[in-house]
């Protein structure tokens, strides 16, 4: 499927395939027949330049000439309103002719050009050039997925793609922090002017000047379905009415629906989703265009060599006894195995080992805000979570990057992606290092699908069962039984709303207009002061009758606190 000057064409070098597609009722109704082809099966014929793949150096002169010669392609036009229906009919579970979407950006004279080039110091690496060559060819851009490992330069690939298309670009990030980072990456690697790029978040509602530009926003800001403020409504209408030449998105696991754009480019670190919707990506975006081999990049020195370890931490008897009780909620059970003293000691030992013996920069991730706060305060380390202000986040990250006194930081889900910290060389398994799990008698909390993805890439996980070593016990926290019992009481006394996973405030339009409500009042209340009046002499007006003192009803025993049930039982 090729997009030429805002018109959609089904194109193929094999006319028999096009005839097979036209036999389908949905596709035949979607076809727009020109006057010279009215009522027949004739197709428009054009010539395209052949392509030579990355292994063209292995071919001789005759083979290169044959590969680069012009080839005839046959096509017919379809109704833009029926594009989604045609794509669905061509899926493997239907006609089994999946569509590869292409955008003829070089010959697009309808949409305005964006004057943006890569800076001279922006030199893409060989694998980055190869990934871009899979996306571009013959003056066209293919919609699809590019998979590059963490730290391999996904930002430069995205900016390079936008610079080659030279059309208006919509870049979707995950949160406001990553929006600022992506705006900085565009200014760092390209010659785009400040007035050509804008941010659209709940705090920053900017507009670019001119007919073309780059908008960096979040998926939640675009997909928000409620009423918006006046400024937000104007910007979102501008986004909806504009023809976007390029659409960049970095998180495959967040996509939920199709988005309109001429060329959709996804650059992800792992082609993994936890919701079993990985097969929908071919329809929503396109096929996987390129996936870098992690071990080849390690051998080339482009990314660091990593060691993946899985640490098994048996629970203490007291924690495990509370964990096995049936009345415990799932959130409370999660808090018990996350705050397991043996797990805390293993984490503390790993931090000391990497800091003191290796001089590493360490990031500790925790989705549980209760555990994140407890670990960070006990170990006296800075932490970043959802409520941390933007200025505080910037200060902590700058100190972590440049100060020798800050070597470890704790991050919640806000730092799981889109934070540029190349100085860190020790992370959890989501960033490729130690994974601390709870090992019980009947259950083992195992890492998610990302561990299997790393194994498929050629990495191996070693299992460590004796950490920390016995000789380091007294030097670590929670060595005494009374300290462990005190920690257990804190976990049990915390409410379920405190011990659960962190619920991030999505970067949606937080100043959306609320619905109007109708209420019944009196004219005297409109003057204020709750209807009271000033009088020189007291006449008893406005006094409320004395409340009858009644004995309060006994509290429902089932709603009493657990500490008072025995006393009043």
Strands (E) across 220-374 are located at: 246-249, 264-268, 288-291, 308-314, 362-365
Q: Using CB atoms within 10 A of its CB, is residue 456 exposed (0-12), middle (13-18) or buried (19+)?
A: exposed
For the stretch 37-52, pLDDT in tens is 554 556 677 666 555 4
* pLDDT at residue 422 greater than cutoff 80: no
Q: So what's the pLDDT on residue 387?
A: 82
For the stretch 530-541, pLDDT in tens is 556 555 555 555
Q: How far apart are CA 298 and CA 284, in angstroms?
A: 32
* pLDDT at residue 136 greater than cutoff 50: yes
Q: How far apart are CA 8 and CA 3, in angstroms?
A: 5
**DSSP single-letter state for residue 509:** -
Least confidently predicted of 118-127, 266-275, 280-289, 328-337: 266-275
Q: How far apart are CA 411 and CA 381, in angstroms?
A: 11
User: What tokens does 230 get?
Assistant: 């006046």
Identify the residue whose tokens are 């100060």: 403
* Mean pLDDT of the chain, nearest integer: 77
For the stretch 294-327, pLDDT in tens is 889 988 988 877 777 888 888 899 999 998 888 8
Identify the residue whose tokens are 């030992």: 349
Q: How far apart are CA 267 and CA 66, in angstroms?
A: 33
Model confidence, pTM: 0.73
Q: How far apart are CA 382 and CA 406, in angstroms?
A: 8
* pLDDT at residue 429 greater than cutoff 50: no
pLDDT band for position 559 (cuts 50, 70, 90): low
pLDDT band for position 341 (cuts 50, 70, 90): very high
Q: In the chain, what are the domains? A: 1-89 (no CATH), 100-303 (3.40.50.300), 308-499 (3.40.50.300)
Categorise residue 305: left if φ over 0, alpha if ψ from -120 to 50, beta otherwise: beta
pLDDT band for position 565 (cuts 50, 70, 90): low
**What average pLDDT does this structure show over 12-41?**
79
- Evaluate whether 369 touches 501 at the Cβ level (below 8 Å): yes
Cβ neighbors of 74 (< 8 A, separation 6 or more) are 11, 12, 13, 14, 15, 18, 43, 44, 45
Angle 41-47-48 from CA coordinates, rounded to 5°? 125
Q: Higher model confidence: residue 295 or residue 253? A: 295
**What average pLDDT does this structure show over 121-127?**
92
- Evaluate whether 255 touches 274 at the Cβ level (below 8 Å): no
Q: How far is CA 147 from CA 156, 274, 291, 392, 425, in A?
A: 13, 17, 5, 32, 21
Least confidently predicted of 186-195, 490-499, 514-523: 514-523
Q: Give, for 560, the enclosing helix (H) or strand (E).
A: none
User: What tokens does 263 get?
Assistant: 């060329």
Q: Higher model confidence: residue 394 or residue 113? A: 113
**DSSP single-letter state for residue 192:** -
* pLDDT at residue 176 greater than cutoff 60: yes
Q: So what's the pLDDT on residue 374?
A: 92
* pLDDT at residue 273 greater than cutoff 70: no
User: What tokens does 164 get?
Assistant: 């080659």
**What average pLDDT does this structure show over 270-277?**
51
Q: So what's the pLDDT on residue 333?
A: 87
**What average pLDDT does this structure show over 386-414?**
86
Q: So what's the pLDDT on residue 431?
A: 41
- Evaluate whether 280 touches 315 at the Cβ level (below 8 Å): no
pLDDT band for position 133 (cuts 50, 70, 90): very high
Q: So what's the pLDDT on residue 42?
A: 63
**Torsion sign over Cα 451, 152, 357, 347:** negative
**DSSP single-letter state for residue 529:** G
- Evaluate whether 156 touches 200 at the Cβ level (below 8 Å): no
User: What tokens does 463 get?
Assistant: 């299992």
**What average pLDDT does this structure show over 183-188?**
93
- Evaluate whether 158 touches 181 at the Cβ level (below 8 Å): no
- Evaluate whether 468 touches 346 at the Cβ level (below 8 Å): yes
- Evaluate whether 216 touches 186 at the Cβ level (below 8 Å): yes
Q: How far apart are CA 184 and CA 509, in angstroms?
A: 22
Q: Give, for 482, the enclosing helix (H) or strand (E).
A: helix 481-493
- Evaluate whether 251 touches 280 at the Cβ level (below 8 Å): no
* pLDDT at residue 363 greater than cutoff 70: yes
**What average pLDDT does this structure show over 231-241?**
85
Q: So what's the pLDDT on residue 434?
A: 44
As a whole-number percent, the residues of the chain with pLDDT over 70 amount to: 69
* pLDDT at residue 188 greater than cutoff 70: yes
* pLDDT at residue 552 greater than cutoff 60: no
**What average pLDDT does this structure show over 247-273?**
60
* pLDDT at residue 397 greater than cutoff 50: yes
* pLDDT at residue 382 greater than cutoff 70: yes
Q: How far apart are CA 267 and CA 173, in angstroms?
A: 12
**What average pLDDT does this structure show over 550-564?**
58
* pLDDT at residue 292 greater than cutoff 70: yes
User: What tokens does 14 get?
Assistant: 């094999």
Let me know how long the chain is. 569
* pLDDT at residue 36 greater than cutoff 60: no
Q: Higher model confidence: residue 61 or residue 175? A: 175
Concatenating the DSSP letter of every residue in 258-296 gives ----S-EEEEES----SSS-GGGHHHHT--EEEE--HHH
Q: So what's the pLDDT on residue 126?
A: 93
pLDDT band for position 417 (cuts 50, 70, 90): low
**Torsion sign over Cα 311, 317, 318, 320:** positive
Q: How far apart are CA 402 and CA 438, in angstroms?
A: 34
* pLDDT at residue 438 greater than cutoff 50: no
Mapping DSSP onto H, E and C, the string for 64-122 reads HHHHHCEEEEEEEEECHHHHHHHHHHCCCCCCCCCCCCEECCCCCCCCCCCCCCECCCC
Cβ neighbours, 10 Å, residue 418? 19
Q: How far apart are CA 17 and CA 15, in angstroms?
A: 5
Cβ neighbours, 10 Å, residue 245? 25
Q: Higher model confidence: residue 178 or residue 35? A: 178
* pLDDT at residue 74 greater than cutoff 60: yes
pLDDT band for position 554 (cuts 50, 70, 90): low
Q: How far apart are CA 133 and CA 164, in angstroms?
A: 11
* pLDDT at residue 353 greater than cutoff 80: yes
Q: So what's the pLDDT on residue 526?
A: 58
pLDDT band for position 551 (cuts 50, 70, 90): low
pLDDT band for position 160 (cuts 50, 70, 90): very high
In which order are the strands placed within the sheet that holds 408-411? Answer: 362-365, 408-411, 383-384
Q: How far apart are CA 334 and CA 313, in angstroms?
A: 14
Q: Give, for 497, the enclosing helix (H) or strand (E).
A: helix 496-499
491 CB-side CA count, 13 A: 29
**What average pLDDT does this structure show over 332-357?**
90
Cβ neighbors of 236 (< 8 A, separation 6 or more) are 221, 222, 228
* pLDDT at residue 430 greater than cutoff 50: no
**What average pLDDT does this structure show over 480-504?**
83
* pLDDT at residue 177 greater than cutoff 90: no
Q: So what's the pLDDT on residue 191?
A: 95
Q: So what's the pLDDT on residue 523?
A: 61
Alpha helices in 114-229 (DSSP H): 126-135, 154-165, 176-189, 219-223
**What average pLDDT does this structure show over 259-275?**
58
Q: Closest by alpha carbon to 170, among 247, 224, 117?
A: 247
**What average pLDDT does this structure show over 494-517?**
60
Q: How far apart are CA 24 and CA 13, in angstroms?
A: 19
Q: Higher model confidence: residue 398 or residue 279? A: 398
Q: So what's the pLDDT on residue 504?
A: 59
Q: So what's the pLDDT on residue 553?
A: 56
């Amino acid at each position: 499927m090729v997009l030429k000057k805002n018109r959609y064409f089904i194109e193929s070098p094999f006319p028999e395939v096009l005839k097979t597609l036209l036999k389908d009722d949905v596709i035949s109704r979607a076809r727009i027949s020109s006057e010279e082809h009215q009522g027949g099966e004739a197709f428009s014929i054009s010539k395209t330049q052949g392509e030579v793949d990355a292994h063209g150096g292995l071919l001789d002169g005759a083979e290169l000439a044959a590969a680069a010669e012009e080839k005839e392609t046959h096509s017919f036009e379809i109704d833009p309103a029926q594009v989604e229906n045609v794509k669905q009919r061509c899926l493997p579970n239907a006609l089994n002719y999946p569509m590869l979407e292409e955008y003829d950006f070089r010959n697009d004279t309808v949409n305005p050009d964006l004057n943006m080039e890569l800076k001279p110091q922006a030199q893409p690496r060989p694998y980055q050039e190869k990934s871009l060559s899979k996306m571009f060819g013959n003056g066209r851009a293919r919609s699809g997925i590019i998979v590059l490992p963490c730290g391999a330069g996904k930002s430069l690939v995205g900016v390079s793609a936008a610079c080659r298309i030279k059309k208006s670009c919509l870049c979707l990030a995950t949160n406001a922090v990553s929006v600022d980072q992506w705006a900085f990456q565009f200014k760092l690697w390209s010659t785009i002017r400040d007035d050509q790029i804008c941010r659209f978040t709940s705090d920053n509602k900017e507009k670019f000047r001119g007919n073309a530009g780059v908008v960096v926003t979040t998926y939640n800001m675009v997909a928000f379905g409620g009423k918006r403020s006046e400024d937000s409504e104007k910007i979102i209408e501008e986004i909806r009415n504009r023809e976007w030449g390029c659409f960049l998105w970095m998180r495959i696991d967040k996509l939920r629906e199709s988005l309109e754009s001429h060329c959709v480019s996804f650059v992800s670190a792992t082609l993994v989703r936890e919701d079993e919707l990985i097969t929908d990506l071919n329809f929503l975006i396109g096929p996987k265009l390129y996936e870098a081999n992690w071990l080849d990049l390690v051998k080339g020195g482009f990314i660091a060599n990593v060691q993946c370890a899985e640490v098994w931490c048996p629970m203490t008897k007291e924690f495990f006894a509370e964990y096995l009780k049936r009345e415990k909620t799932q959130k409370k059970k999660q808090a018990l195995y996350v705050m397991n003293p043996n797990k805390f000691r293993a984490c503390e030992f790993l931090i000391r080992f990497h800091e003191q013996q290796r001089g590493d920069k360490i990031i500790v991730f925790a989705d549980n805000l209760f555990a994140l706060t407890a670990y960070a305060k006990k170990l006296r380390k800075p932490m970043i979570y959802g409520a941390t202000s933007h200025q505080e986040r910037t200060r902590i990250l700058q100190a972590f990057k440049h100060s020798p006194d800050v070597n470890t930081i704790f991050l919640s889900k806000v730092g799981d992606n889109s934070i540029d910290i190349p100085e860190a060389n020790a992370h959890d398994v989501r960033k490729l290092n130690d994974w601390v799990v709870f090992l019980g008698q009947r259950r083992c909390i195992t890492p998610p699908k990302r561990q299997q993805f790393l194994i498929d890439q050629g990495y191996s996980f070693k299992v460590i069962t004796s950490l920390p070593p016995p000789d380091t016990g007294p030097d670590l926290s929670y060595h005494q039984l009374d300290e462990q019992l005190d920690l257990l009481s804190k976990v049990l006394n915390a409410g379920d709303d405190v011990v659960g996973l962190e619920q991030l405030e999505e970067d949606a339009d937080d100043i959306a207009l609320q619905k109007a409500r109708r209420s019944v009042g009196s004219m005297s209340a409109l003057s204020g002061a709750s209807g009271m009046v000033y009088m020189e002499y007291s006449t008893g007006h406005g006094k409320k009758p004395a409340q009858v003192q009644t004995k309060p009803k006994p509290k429902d025993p089932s709603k009493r606190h657990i500490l008072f049930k025995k006393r009043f039982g």
